Structure 1
Amino acid sequence: MNIKSLLLGSAAALAVVSGAQAADAIVAAEPEPMEYVRVCDAFGTGFFYIPGTETCLKIGGEVRVEWGWNKSDDADFASGFETRARVNFTANSDSEVGVVSSYIQFEAESDEVNGDSFGPETVLEKAYISVGGFKTGYTTTFWDDIGFAGEADGSFSGATKFDMVSYTYATDAFTVGIGFDEVSETGFEDAGVEGMVSASLGAATLGLYGVYDFANEEGAVGLLASADVGPGSLSAAVVYASGDSVYDGGYEWAIGGAYAFKATDKLTITPGVSYYVDEFGTDVDAWEASLYAEYAVASGLTASINVEYGDSNAAGDDGDWNGFVRLIRSF
C-alpha cells in the first residue's frame, strides 16, 4: 500500500464517522417566549395585568386577631379570642362603555361565626359588578354610611347588605345615588329603595340618606355630618325611623357623635357617645359611650383598643361594660 492509497482511505473513514455523528446530533429547541407580569398603574397602586389579557387585577385582604371581653352587673366577666381573615379581589378593565369593574370579598372567622357553633366558616362578604356609576350584586348599601368614627354607633342601622342594584352620580363636590334592594326572599317584589345626597363644603361634608322597606311599609331618614376641627375630625349622625324595618337599628330616634383626635402621626384617640329613643316594641331608651384608640405600629399593621359602657332604662338593666384589643395586618 502506498502513501497515496493510505491517505485516501483515512479521508474516507473520517467522512463516514463524521456523517454518523451528524445524524445523531441533538439540536436544542428554541426557548418559549416568557410573558412577565406587568404592572398596571391605570387604576392605582397594587394592580397588575392578568397575563394574556388587558384586565388589571388587585389582591388584598387582612388578618384580624382580637381579644374581647364583657361584664355586666348581673353576670360574670367573660372573654375570648377571635381571629378573622378577609381576602378580596378587584378586576378592572377599560371598555367602550367605560371602566368595567368586579369585586369579590370572602371572610372567615374562627369563633361562633353563625351564632351557635365553634369553628371556622367561610362566607361571601361581597360580590358585585360596576360599570360607570351602575353597581349590581351582593354588597352594602348607601345606608351603611350612617355612623361615625369610633365604636359608639351600634344601633344606628340594621341590615345594610343585600342583593341590589344602584346608580351613583358624583362630581368633585356632590354625590347623588339611588338603589333598589332585595330585602326579602320574594325578590324585588317586596323591595327596599334607598337614596342619598352628599356635599363636600370645604373642610365639612354633609350627607342626607333615606330608605323605605316596602315589605314592612316603614322607612327611615338619616343625616351625617363630618368636619376637620383642630387636630382631628368631628363626626355626628342622627336617624329617625317610622317603624321597625330591615334598615333601622331598632329605635325610633338615634343620635350621636365622635371626635377622632390625632394625638401623633401614628396614634388616634376617639371618644364617642350615642343616645337611642323609644325602642320598637318596648319604648326603652338607651345610651352608650366608648373610648377607642388606634396605633399604626408599622406599614399595614395597626393595634387598637376599645372600652365601652352602655345602659338603658329597661327594668333590670344595670349597665354593661365591654371592650376589645385588636391587631390587624392588612395588605
Structure 2
Amino acid sequence: EYVRVCDAFGTGYFYIPGTETCLKIGGEVRATVYVNETESADGDDWDSEVRARLTFDAKNDSELGTIGSYIRIQASQGADLGRADVGLDQAYITVGGFKVGRSLTWADDWGLAGESDAFFGNARFNTVSYTYSADAFTVGLGIDDLSDEYAGNEVGLEAVASATLGMATVTLNGVYDFGDEDGAIAGVVSADLGPGTLGIAAAWASGQAEGYDFAAEWTVGAAYTFKATEKLSITPQVVYWGDYGFDGGDDAWGADLYIEYALAAGLTASADVRYIDEEGGDSNWDGFVRLTRSF
C-alpha cells in the first residue's frame, strides 16, 4: 500500500516513497563450468566460476529531460580463489542523451551472437558521451579516459552510427587511441533471415593500441542464430583474424557452437564449444556449460 507502480519508463519500476523518482532493481546469478584442452599453470583442464550482479536503475522527468542513474555491482568467484572482491562494475548518470560515469562503451556491443568474435579487448572506461536516437537511426560520440591502461593520462575518442533498414540493422563503431595514435573501425550487419537471425561482422585496426587492446589487424566473421523453438536457440559462428595478436603476420581462425535454452522465466541454460587455430601456433578446444538466473 506504500509503493506505487511506475510505468513511465517500462516494466519493473516503482516510485520511491515520497518522491517522483522511479526505481528498478535487478540482478543475475551465473554459474559456469569451463573446460579447456590446454591445461593451466596448475595443471587444471577445467574450472568453475560463480558471478553475481546487482543493478539499480533510477529515473525521473525534469526540466532538463529524463534524468537517470545506473549502478551495477559485480563479484566473480572461482573455485580455487579466496573470498571474492565486490566491485563497482558500472555507475553513470544520464541527462537526455548525455552520459557520464563508468560504463561499458559502444565497443562492448560490437560482435556476433556466438562466443568467438573477439576484437575489442577493453570496453569499460570512465567516459562521457552523447547519443542521439530517432526511430530507426542512432549516432553517438564519446571521450574515454584510458588512464587505467597507461602509466600516464591518455584519452580515446569513440563514435557509433546505427540504422535499421527494413529487416536489417547496420552498426558502425570507430575508436581512436591518442596514447598509441592508433584507431579502428568495426561494423556489424544483422538481419532476420528464415527461422533466425544472420549476423556478419568486420573490423580493422591500424595497430594494437594499448587503450582498446585490439585482437588483430583485421577480423571478419559470421553467425546465424537458429530459433529452433520459442525456448531453444542454436548459434554456429566462424571468425577469421588477420595478423592475430599483431605478432608478425600470423593469421588465425576460430569457430564455435553456442546453444541456449530457456528453462523458465528468468532461468536459462547455455553451453558453448569453441575451436581456434593460429598459423604457426597450436590449435585449442575449449567450452563451457552455464546456468543463469536473472531478475
Where on the TM-score scale, by shorter chain, does this alignment land: which range? over 0.9
Query: Which sections of structure 1, spanning at least 5 residues, go unmatched?
Result: 1-34
1:174 pairs with 99, 112, 137, which one? 137
Greater helix content: 1
1:308, 1:238 → 2: CA distance? 19
Count of residues in correspondence between the two structures:
291
1:45 alignment counterpart: 11
1:147, 1:247 → 2: CA distance? 15
1:99 alignment counterpart: 66
1:314 pairs with 275, 280, 284, which one? 280
2:116 pairs with 152, 155, 166, which one? 152
| Secondary structure in 1 matching 2:108 | helix
Q: CA offset at residue 321 of structure 1?
A: 0.8
Distance 1:181 1:73, change over 3 A: closer
1:142 pairs with 91, 106, 121, which one? 106
Q: CA offset at residue 110 of structure 1?
A: 1.3
Contact kept? 1:69, 1:77, Cα under 8 Å:
no
Q: CA offset at residue 189 of structure 1?
A: 5.8
Q: Does 1:88 align with 2:88?
A: no
Distance 1:187 1:74, change over 3 A: closer
What is the percentage of aligned positions where both structures have the same residue?
A: 54
What is the correspondence of 1:180-199 to structure 2 with a 5 Å cutoff?
Answer: 180-184=143-147, 190-199=154-163
Structure 1: 4+ residue segments shifted above 6 A: 73-77
- Of 77-86 and 116-125, deviating more is 116-125
| Secondary structure in 2 matching 1:264 | coil
Contact kept? 1:168, 1:176, Cα under 8 Å:
yes
Contact kept? 1:273, 1:288, Cα under 8 Å:
yes
Q: CA offset at residue 117 of structure 1?
A: 4.7
1:301 alignment counterpart: 267
2:54, 2:214 → 1: CA distance? 28
Q: CA offset at residue 51 of structure 1?
A: 0.9
Distance 1:281 1:310, change over 3 A: closer
- Of 248-257 and 228-237, deviating more is 248-257
Q: CA offset at residue 269 of structure 1?
A: 0.2
Contact kept? 1:181, 1:188, Cα under 8 Å:
no
Contact kept? 1:184, 1:215, Cα under 8 Å:
no
Q: CA offset at residue 250 of structure 1?
A: 2.6
Contact kept? 2:38, 2:45, Cα under 8 Å:
no
Q: CA offset at residue 74 of structure 1?
A: 11
User: Of the two, which has the highest radius of gyration?
Assistant: 1
Distance 1:74 1:90, change over 3 A: closer
| Secondary structure in 2 matching 1:82 | strand
Q: CA offset at residue 118 of structure 1?
A: 3.9
2:219 alignment counterpart: 254
1:209 pairs with 162, 173, 176, which one? 173
Contact kept? 1:163, 1:182, Cα under 8 Å:
yes
Contact kept? 2:146, 2:153, Cα under 8 Å:
no
Query: Which sections of structure 2, spanning at least 5 residues, go unmatched?
Result: none
| Secondary structure in 2 matching 1:148 | coil
Greater strand content: 2
- The one-letter amino acid of 1:109's match is S
Q: Does 1:63 align with 2:26?
A: no
| Secondary structure in 2 matching 1:255 | strand
1:28 alignment counterpart: none
Q: CA offset at residue 150 of structure 1?
A: 1.3
2:39, 2:84 → 1: CA distance? 31
- The one-letter amino acid of 2:49's match is E
2:40, 2:208 → 1: CA distance? 29
Q: CA offset at residue 248 of structure 1?
A: 4.2
TM-score normalized with structure 2 length: 0.94
